[in-house]
Structure 1
Amino acid sequence: MNEILFWGSNENPIFVKNEIEIITKPTQFKFEKENENGIKQISSGYSGTIFLFENGKAIEYLKNSSKNPEKIQIENIQKVAIGFENEAILTKEGNVFAKGFYINQENPNKFINISSLIKDPNDRIIQDVVSGIYSIYLLTSNQNVYGIGSNRSGQLGFDYKTLPKTEKPILMMKNVSKIFSGSSSYSVFLLNSNQELFCCGSNSYGQLGLGESIKGTIQKLTKIQNIPKGRIIDIQCAGEHSIMMIEQKSPKRKLYSCGRRFHSGIQGDAYEFTEIKSSLFEKIIFLIFLVGLNIL
């Protein structure tokens, strides 16, 4: 039997014991027969939650759906990623299947192989997939990043007027080692092999860490100049702030945040990545592990 703890907003009462609205205490959630090898990953967003099991199978609970829980009819799943209304499934063979309004407007509830739509056939083996609020990002085995979906905030790295959305993956950047975004984020961070960090998308609250002089929508991939010293381990992106984990010598790891005050764990608005100090560090580092599930 696999068990998890659940708390927070529960707009779909089928999800946990028919309880609706806000659950303030952790509630046990059990899987009786789904799989014998344990839960590998959980990905959650506004539209629902996906549970991936060690045997490569997954089930999803979708908001306002009468079919909960529903098995995803894709085998050998390596990773799942969910956004506001889009889902992406990475298989062990390197294929990515996705669905959503901005992915397939004619049939948004049908999974399609978006990796097969990449123009260069040598780039169709996918190493990692990350979902933003309305966009999906693919990291290929050749270390190239493609974006697909909405570009309403420049989160694909192109001018919104000339490219408001795309249903085919478009090349964003080469020589990338990691992608960072989030299910409520209109932004994306791309880290190259030299530990140089680039970003694009919404920066209305300084959540890209570019400094106070650069605000609004960033529609072109832009290098962040003032990155804290150390090796970037992870970045968690929300709608109005971002949190970065840096590996350093002493203490071994630190957290830095930028974006809207009260959301980012620091005293006021921060337009550059600012260190999170005091007891908040331990609390936030736990939440990053709990929500992100992909730090290491």
Structure 2
Amino acid sequence: MNEIIFFGYNTYPKLIKNKPNKIIKPIQFKFENENENENEKQIKQISSSHYSTIFLFKNEKAIEYLKENYSNQNPSKIQIEENIQKVTVGWQNEAILTIEGNVFAKGKDINPKNPNEFINISSLIEDTNDRIIEDIVSEKPILMMKNVSKIFSGNSSLHVFILNSNQELFGCGWNKYGQLGLGESRKEMKIQKLTKIQNIPKGKIIDIQSGNFHSIMLIEYQNPKRKLYSCGYYRYNGLGKDEDTYEFTEIKSSLFENDDNILEFSVGNYHTLILTSNSKLIGFGDNYYDELRNGNTNTQLSPIQIELPKLRFNENISNYHISCGL
């Protein structure tokens, strides 16, 4: 079985029981049922946020540890038995993508009547042109989404994105600050039906990550050349610009022009980090705890370069990964 090491903030969710709220020295996390088949506990993916952690295993099953908001109770352990290929956990929402291409999600802004129950949101598509009718057996029309390929959320987000194999993007959830990229004409606080995101940049969508009030998209073009686009509320956030943006628009900076190519990026609640192919670490957003390592606590609305530690043994920068917390 994979070894799971846990450290950091241990209040929501409290994966490690009977331990302090802040774990400085890393400790090992073990699943409660030691009699389970070890071969079935090979981990494929872990997704975690403020209240929830989901472990996805190679046998296409998952276990969720869910903390009930500010309760002092230990987290609930929930078995998820679907045929799952990917999971994603946001601030107060979770989504799973099944082998069959269905997307199940839960959260107060997705399923207000029962926020702890997974519902099939593949059927909740706003535009009838993007629906197909299936399920002949029950003789009931079930509206399903076509060919879901990826799902995206963020460790501090309240909204969800879904991408199909035709590179069509849909979103639902919290939208008070335009973080779904639906345009200035769509300012509803909550979007409870999957809605197509129009006017997205042409190119291949590689990744989308979200904070509470903003979203950032990575697009790949030929050569390959990658560009970042963002939307949402700019103040104190990792939006990479100094004004609110209601559609996905390019983040421009001389720090990743010309020969630079973006390897990966990570979004926290209020800041963003970018790693480029020529060993640059770039960041922007809130810096209250010196997350950007520039020696002060000033908010950086535009991208700045962050000093990287020297690489070990001339190791290739592509072997490194970055991840933002809240």
- Asked if Structure 1 and Structure 2 have the same fold, meaning a TM-score greater than 0.5 normalized by the shorter chain, the answer is yes
Q: Is the 8 A contact 1:2 1:30 kept in 2?
A: no
Deviation at 1:206, TM superposition (A): 5.4
Residue 25 of structure 1 aligns with which residue? 25
Q: Compute the RMSD of aligned alpha carbons.
A: 2.8
Cα distance, 1:244–1:272 mapped onto 2, change above 3 Å: same
Cα distance, 1:115–1:247 mapped onto 2, change above 3 Å: farther
From 234, 255, 260, give the equivalent of 2:281. 255
Deviations 1:89-140 (A, max 9, x none): 0122222110001111112111112123233037622211111411001111
Q: Which has the larger radius of gyration?
A: 2
Deviation at 1:291, TM superposition (A): 4.4
Deviation at 1:35, TM superposition (A): 5.0
From 69, 79, 82, give the equivalent of 1:74. 82
Deviation at 1:56, TM superposition (A): 0.9
**Aligned equivalents of 2:269, 2:321: Cα separation in 1:** 18
**Aligned equivalents of 1:10, 1:179: Cα separation in 2:** 28
Report the secondary structure of 2:3's partner residue: strand
Cα distance, 1:208–1:163 mapped onto 2, change above 3 Å: same
Deviation at 1:152, TM superposition (A): 1.4
The AA in structure 2 aligned to 1:70 is: I
The AA in structure 2 aligned to 1:256 is: I
Q: Is the 8 A contact 2:159 2:171 kept in 1?
A: yes
Deviations 1:161-217 (A, max 9, x none): 7422111111113644123214x542111233423432101211252112xxx23x3
From 98, 102, 106, give the equivalent of 1:99. 106
From 264, 283, 289, give the equivalent of 1:234. 264
Residue 89 of structure 1 aligns with which residue? 96
79-88 vs 2-11, greater mean Cα deviation: 2-11
The AA in structure 2 aligned to 1:243 is: L
Deviations 1:9-63 (A, max 9, x none): 2115862142141111101112332651511111111121111111111101111
Cα distance, 1:167–1:23 mapped onto 2, change above 3 Å: same
Does residue 163 (structure 1) correspond to residue 188 (structure 2)? The answer is: yes
Does residue 181 (structure 1) correspond to residue 209 (structure 2)? The answer is: yes
User: Normalising by structure 1, what TM-score?
Assistant: 0.83
Q: Is the 8 A contact 2:280 2:308 kept in 1?
A: no
Cα distance, 1:12–1:35 mapped onto 2, change above 3 Å: farther
The AA in structure 1 aligned to 2:25 is: K
Cα distance, 1:67–1:46 mapped onto 2, change above 3 Å: closer
Aligned length: 279
Report the secondary structure of 2:177's partner residue: coil
Cα distance, 1:67–1:84 mapped onto 2, change above 3 Å: closer
Does residue 42 (structure 1) correspond to residue 46 (structure 2)? The answer is: yes
Q: Which one has a larger percent strand, Structure 1 or Structure 2? A: 1
Q: Is the 8 A contact 2:238 2:285 kept in 1?
A: yes
Unaligned runs of 5+ in 2: 133-144
26-35 vs 47-56, greater mean Cα deviation: 26-35
Q: Is the 8 A contact 1:137 1:146 kept in 2?
A: yes
Residue 6 of structure 1 aligns with which residue? 6
The AA in structure 2 aligned to 1:124 is: K
Cα distance, 1:26–1:290 mapped onto 2, change above 3 Å: farther
Does residue 137 (structure 1) correspond to residue 157 (structure 2)? The answer is: no
Identity of aligned residues (%): 37
Residue 249 of structure 2 aligns with which residue? 222
Q: Is the 8 A contact 1:144 1:174 kept in 2?
A: no
122-131 vs 78-87, greater mean Cα deviation: 122-131
Q: Is the 8 A contact 1:180 1:236 kept in 2?
A: no
**Aligned equivalents of 2:304, 2:295: Cα separation in 1:** 10
163-172 vs 200-209, greater mean Cα deviation: 200-209
The AA in structure 2 aligned to 1:264 is: L
Deviation at 1:290, TM superposition (A): 7.2
Residue 121 of structure 1 aligns with which residue? 131
**Aligned equivalents of 2:271, 2:263: Cα separation in 1:** 17
User: Normalising by structure 2, what TM-score?
Assistant: 0.76
**Aligned equivalents of 2:276, 2:282: Cα separation in 1:** 8
**Aligned equivalents of 1:168, 1:244: Cα separation in 2:** 32
Q: Is the 8 A contact 1:12 1:20 kept in 2?
A: no
